[in-house]
Amino acid sequence: MGLAGCGGSDTSSATADGSNATVVRVVDGDTIVAKVGGVEEKVRLIGINTPESVDPRRPVECFGKEASHHTSELLPVGTPIRLVRDAEPRDKYGRLLAYIYRSSDSVFVNLSLAQDGYAQQLTYPPNIAHVDEFTAAIRTARQQKLGLWASCPDAK
Residues annotated as part of the active site: 44, 52, 95
> In the 3-class helix/strand/coil scheme, how is 84-109 assigned residue by residue?
ECCCCCECCCCCEEEEEEECCCCCEH
Burial of 37 (0-12, 13-18, 19+ CB in 10 A): exposed
| Helical (H) or strand (E) element with 9 | none
| Helical (H) or strand (E) element with 75 | none
First to last CA, the chain: 36
Helix, strand, coil shares of the chain, percent, nearest 5, are: 20, 30, 50
The answer to whether residues 102 and 74 touch, using CB atoms and an 8 Å cutoff, is yes
Burial of 13 (0-12, 13-18, 19+ CB in 10 A): middle
